[in-house]
């Protein structure tokens, strides 16, 4: 692209990046990523707040900040030769400021870095020159493969999700500490207020702009952008209808076990490898997540059916079919995302009974979690407790966790303790 065109885009973007706005601080140890000269890669689904996080990081740093948004359509003709043009623009726009502060310190901030060619080599060059770089990306496979090839040992990866419930409350002006929750120090009115906000979060999900604008339909546009820009174009897929049908089916059946042959018969996609590839693509762009069935035999685990979940509950309201009434699966999905946010290694348990989640640490299962809207129905209560109890016995656990909307209790099941806890309290611990 012409240097004059690039120059105008970059000038526009510098102004936008410096624009003052109210930003919600994320529950991230930013200091860990500010230290050292490693390249910081921020990965996550579109619209989860990666650009805002770059601004938060920039606000913590003293020195020149140079920003480029490679998702800007005006940069669609960006070529390898334009990297030198960017370096020239840094000197033109900030050379005097760098001389004035005497350090020559400059920080680079790049949005959606995977959109431009040979980005990993360019970042490597900046690293060798001693520059500190922060970059975002929306494709885990592209980022991880290029990082492992060119940037091994020279990067830190920060995985970003849509807002957690605690961050959602911060957006509403409410700060709650884990100590307040654990010690049960909240007043009745404060608990009622938080539960009301939890119901809103449960319905709306955590996309920042969806929450700020109170416009749930924005997530439908996000879904279309993810399919069209991040999957169809990126992976050169011709069968767009089949791809979308598969995505819609999986979103409409979160929390249910499936196999590739089952999906083939339901979707009409003839090739099992195509179905597997499509699901891999959905995971690469952070839209969907697979949770495998736990088995000590890796071979058996690989051939067992997996469950699918999505990154944000808003998709279950705006995109999935007939999902508005299925509170149980939506609550289960919400718990799944929080467990991923906490970097847990997840499986589900299925033998004679079933348990929604078992967490693995090293060689052992460390926790079993069951999720249910409520325990009002005796049959439901029996099924949930028996499934959790079977998992506890299978993995020699003395305690299990049963998450519900509002119930709070401790159950003794023959020497094994089941803690029944409201999801909103668990989310805030």
Q: Is the pLDDT of residue 158 over 90?
A: yes
Q: Cβ of 182: how many Cβ atoms within 10 Å?
A: 11
According to DSSP, the β-strands at 399-404 and 257-258 are unpaired
Taking the model in full, what pTM does it have? 0.94
> Does 103 score more than 70 pLDDT?
no
Rounded CA-CA distance 310/259 in Å is 17
pLDDT of residue 323: 58
Q: Could you write out the DSSP letters of every residue in 92-131?
A: HHHHHHHHHHSS--EEEEEESGGGSTTHHHHHHHHHHTT-
Q: Is the pLDDT assigned to residue 137 strictly greater than 90? A: yes
Give me the residue label for tokens 């012409």: 2
Name the band, by pLDDT with cuts 50, 70 and 90, for residue 324: low
Q: Are 51 and 18 in contact (CB under 8 A)?
A: no
Report d(CA 145, CA 140) in Å as an integer.
Answer: 8
In angstroms, the CA 99 to CA 94 distance is 9
Give the C-alpha distances (Å, rounded to integers) separating 183 from 27, 180, 191: 21, 5, 13
Domain boundary assignment for the chain: 3-160, 167-427
Number of residues that this document lists for the chain: 429
Asked if residue 204 lies in contact with residue 210, where contact means CB atoms within 8 angstroms, the answer is yes
Q: Looking at the predicted structure, is the pLDDT value of residue 404 above 90? A: yes
Lay out the sheet containing 257-258: strands in order across.
257-258, 306-310, 288-291
| For range 42-58, the mean pLDDT | 96
The b-or-e profile of 306-335 (16+ CB within 10 A means b, else e) is bbbbbbbbbbbbbbbeebeebeebbbbbbb
Q: Which of 33-37, 186-190, 261-265, 311-315 has the highest mean pLDDT?
A: 311-315
Please report the pLDDT score of residue 303 as a whole number: 73
- Max Cα–Cα distance, the chain, nearest Å: 75
Residue environment code for 131-163, b if the CB has 16+ CB neighbours within 10 A, otherwise e: bbbbbbbbbbebbeebbeebbeeebebbebbbb
**DSSP code for 132:** E
- What is the structure's pLDDT at 351? 95
Per-chain mean pLDDT for the chain: 93
Number of helices (H), then strands (E), belonging to the chain: the values are: 19, 14
Q: Report CA 374 to chain centroid distance, whole Å.
A: 27
φ/ψ region of 289 (left if φ > 0, alpha if ψ in -120 to 50, else beta) reads beta
Each as own residue / partner, the long-range contacts of residues 405-411 (CB below 8 Å, 24 or more positions apart, any chain) are 405/331, 405/373, 405/374, 406/195, 406/374, 407/374, 407/375, 411/385
Q: Crossing angle, helix 240-251 and helix 272-284, to 10 degrees?
A: 70
pLDDT digits (tens, 9 = 90+) for 265-280: 888 899 999 999 999 9
pLDDT in the model for residue 91 = 94
3-160 carries CATH number 3.40.50.300:
yes
């Amino acid at each position: 692209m012409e240097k004059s065109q690039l120059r105008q885009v970059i000038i526009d973007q510098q102004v936008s990046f410096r624009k003052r706005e109210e930003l919600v601080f994320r529950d991230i140890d930013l200091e860990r990523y500010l230290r050292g000269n490693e390249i910081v890669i921020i990965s996550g689904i579109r619209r989860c707040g990666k650009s805002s996080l770059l601004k938060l990081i920039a606000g913590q740093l003293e020195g020149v900040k140079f920003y480029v948004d490679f998702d800007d359509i005006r940069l669609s003709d960006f070529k390898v030769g334009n990297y030198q043009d960017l370096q020239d623009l840094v000197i033109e726009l900030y050379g005097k400021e760098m001389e004035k502060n005497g350090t020559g310190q400059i920080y680079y901030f790049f949005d959606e870095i995977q959109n431009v060619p040979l980005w990993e080599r360019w970042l490597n060059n900046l690293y060798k020159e001693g520059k500190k770089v922060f970059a975002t990306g929306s494709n885990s496979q592209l980022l991880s493969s290029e990082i492992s090839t060119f940037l091994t040992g020279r990067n830190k990866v920060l995985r970003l999700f849509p807002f957690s419930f605690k961050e959602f409350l911060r957006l509403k002006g409410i700060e709650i500490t884990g100590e307040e929750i654990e010690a049960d120090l909240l007043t009745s009115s404060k608990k009622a207020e938080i539960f009301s906000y939890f119901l809103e979060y449960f319905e709306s999900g955590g996309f920042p702009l969806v929450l700020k604008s109170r416009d749930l339909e924005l997530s439908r546009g996000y879904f279309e952008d993810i399919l069209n820009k991040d999957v169809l174009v990126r992976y050169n897929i011709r069968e767009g209808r089949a791809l979308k049908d598969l995505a819609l089916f999986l979103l409409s059946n979160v929390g249910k076990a499936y196999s590739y042959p089952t999906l083939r018969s339901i979707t009409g996609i003839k090739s099992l490898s195509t179905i597997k590839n499509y699901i891999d693509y959905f995971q690469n762009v952070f839209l969907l997540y697979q949770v495998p069935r736990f088995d000590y035999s890796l071979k058996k685990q690989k051939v067992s059916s997996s469950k699918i979940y999505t990154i944000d509950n808003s998709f279950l309201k705006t995109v999935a079919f007939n999902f508005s009434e299925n509170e149980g699966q939506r609550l289960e999905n919400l718990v799944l995302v929080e467990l991923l946010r906490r970097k847990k290694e997840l499986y589900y348990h299925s033998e004679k009974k079933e348990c929604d989640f078992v967490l693995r640490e090293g060689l052992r299962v460390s926790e079993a979690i069951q999720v249910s809207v409520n325990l009002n129905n005796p049959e439901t209560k029996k099924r949930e407790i028996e499934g959790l109890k079977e998992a506890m016995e299978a993995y020699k656990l003395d305690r299990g966790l049963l998450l519900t909307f509002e119930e709070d209790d401790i159950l003794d099941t023959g020497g094994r303790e089941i803690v029944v806890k409201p999801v909103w309290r668990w989310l805030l611990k």
